[in-house]
């Protein structure tokens, strides 16, 4: 079964760093892009960035460039989203997602279960 399994809920304080993970299984991890999507409470979906684990090619939304870092460790089939200094406004659900086709930027067919990040003093 093809799936993405994300790390769990995180509760952090403003200014702290954080790295959340997304582990792929059931498919060739290096052949598919993996993207990250933010959903703030009660709001819509926002695309943050995407990485191709095969060669670490990474793209960012202009809204998130410089705010987060997307990375991947292909040896353990895991993608990451990290912050160096969290803000209260980073409180949201974060999803990782994989497109339909290998090597293509396509519709996101496979989604992780989501990771809730809560940033509070």
Residues at the contact surface with other proteins, assessed by CB under 8 A? 35, 37, 44-47, 50, 59-62, 95, 97, 100, 105-109, 111-114
Work out how close the CB of 5 gets to other proteins at its nearest, in angstroms, rounded to a whole number. Answer: 12
Count CB-CB contacts under 10 A for residue 95.
22
Sheet (strand 3-6) strand order: 3-6, 18-25, 78-83, 69-73
Identify which of residues 62 and 66 has a Cβ nearer to other proteins in the complex: 62
Work out how close the CB of 107 gets to other proteins at its nearest, in angstroms, rounded to a whole number. Answer: 3
Identify which of residues 1 and 75 has a Cβ nearer to other proteins in the complex: 1
Under 8 Å between Cβ of 56 and 82: no
């Amino acid at each position: 079964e093809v799936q993405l399994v994300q790390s769990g809920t995180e509760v952090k304080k403003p200014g702290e760093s954080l790295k959340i993970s997304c582990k792929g299984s059931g498919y060739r991890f290096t052949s598919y892009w993996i993207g990250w999507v933010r959903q703030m409470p009660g709001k819509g979906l926002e695309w943050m960035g995407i990485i191709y684990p095969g060669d670490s090619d990474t793209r960012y939304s202009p809204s998130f460039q410089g705010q987060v870092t997307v990375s991947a460790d292909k040896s353990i089939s895991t993608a990451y989203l990290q912050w160096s200094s969290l803000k209260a406004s980073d409180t949201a659900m974060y999803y990782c997602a994989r497109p339909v086709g290998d090597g293509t930027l396509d519709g996101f067919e496979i989604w992780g279960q989501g990771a809730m990040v809560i940033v509070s003093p």
